[in-house]
Structure 1
Amino acid sequence: MKIFLLTHERELHRATNTGVLALDDANEIVERILWQRVNPNKDLVRLIDNNEAVLLYSKAESSSAVSPVKIEEYDNIIIIDSTWQEAKKIFNHSAYLKNAPQFTLKTVNNSLYKLRANQPKGGLCTIECIIEVLRLKGLNKMAAELSIKFEQFNG
């Protein structure tokens, strides 16, 4: 399994970026790809074109024509790693992402992340999404380890 963090360049310089926690501790599974509007990553485009990757994305932002998929059926998961406002822009300016099958996490709890403002209700930060994906994929030990790192980071 591979989780691709499609990262906005501004996130590389933010001390509040939670994707870095997974890159530090789960780098055999998590890979960062810098988002480029004009030159999309060819590997991601190929995975999407071959129906080999799913985009983890908010239902409110995705197309209503998208049929639900099971994340368990995919070995490649794409997560947009940025602020919520930037994620919406990335999605809107990336035609290839609109072609990707989409999966939305069904969360019952609000995000525990408190280092950034303007979190939408029900929205999770990047590391919380990664933790949930790992749990869905049965990688509970890694999910628990990242949860501890997140608690320390978020403290």
Structure 2
Amino acid sequence: MPHAVSRLRDERLARSSKPFIARGSKAPRCARCRVVHSHCLCPWLPVADGEAGVCLVMHDIEALKPSNTGWLIADVVKDTHAFTWSRTEVAPALIALLDDPQWQPYIVFPGEFVAPERVTEQVAPAPGKRPLFVLLDATWPEARKMFRKSPWLDRFPVLSLAPEQLSRYRLRRSKREDHFCTAEVAALCLGLAGEEEVADRLDHWLDAFSQHYLAAKYQRPIDPQDALHQHLADDQAAMVRLGQS
């Protein structure tokens, strides 16, 4: 069954007046993993899991970009939701999700741009609630605009991350090394929520996606027996066994 970002991509394509062609490559891509067929990732596709949820609020064409990492979050995090951001209207389903009593939404954004009383660095939902991490999936300038022009987010706490490691993402780079791709941010949030195994799975899936994407771009072979692919295969098998027990 297609996940939330895949469905959003299909909806966006249906509204397009012309085909979306990614920059730098016109080679046919696998519809499931978005990598060219010669370097398809699908044999290592992880099994989605976890109690925390992720809500992706995506800038207009993010879901169409092959390098978008929100797609990887939806591969790994079972409860991933995706919506297209609009300045003039908010999807009723998005508001319903944020109001759902099972969730405690956290808007993930740097605390330096937010009133101090809204900022938290901990994930501690009330009893009976699950954390829902709301990520603005866009370039940094776009995300700042989205945050400023989304007053419907103002009632929720802002989770400000202060990670020690620098970004490992290699496909689209910010000019600042302390800016992270969306999947890295999600993994950090999951770790704060105590879901270290899911965070680890997402980190490895991001590494594999980056490796396959770049190898296809530069026409380099993939070693399916290396440590990364073996880790993915072992984790995949373990999750399948867990689901069958």
TM-score (norm 1): 0.85
Correspondence for 2:87: 37
The structural deviation recorded for 1:121 is 3.3
Report the 3-state secondary structure (helix = DSSP H, G, I; strand = E; otherwise coil) of the residue aligned with 2:135: strand
Contact 2:121 2:161 in 1 (8 A): no
- CA offsets 1:90-133 (integer angstroms, 9 cap, x no match): 11111112332101111111111121133423221110011111
Residue 104 of structure 2: which of 27, 52, 66 is its match? Answer: 52
Task: Give unpaired runs (5+ residues) of structure 2.
Answer: 1-51, 212-245
Task: Give unpaired runs (5+ residues) of structure 1.
Answer: none
Distance in 2 (alpha carbons) for counterparts of 1:105 and 1:69:
6
Distance in 2 (alpha carbons) for counterparts of 1:151 and 1:130:
14
Contact 2:53 2:80 in 1 (8 A): yes
Q: How many residues align?
A: 154
The structural deviation recorded for 1:68 is 2.7
Say what the alpha-carbon RMSD is for the aligned residues: 2.3
Correspondence for 1:150: 206
Report the 3-state secondary structure (helix = DSSP H, G, I; strand = E; otherwise coil) of the residue aligned with 2:111: coil
TM-score (norm 2): 0.56
The structural deviation recorded for 1:14 is 1.2
Correspondence for 1:3: 54
The structural deviation recorded for 1:86 is 1.0
The structural deviation recorded for 1:44 is 4.2
Higher CA-based Rg: 2
Correspondence for 1:105: 161
- Percent same amino acid among aligned pairs? 24
Correspondence for 2:122: 70
The structural deviation recorded for 1:65 is 4.9
Higher relative contact order (CA 8 A, sep 6+): 1
1:77-116 alignment runs, 5 A limit: 77-116=133-172
Report the 3-state secondary structure (helix = DSSP H, G, I; strand = E; otherwise coil) of the residue aligned with 2:209: helix
The structural deviation recorded for 1:69 is 5.6
Contact 2:74 2:80 in 1 (8 A): yes
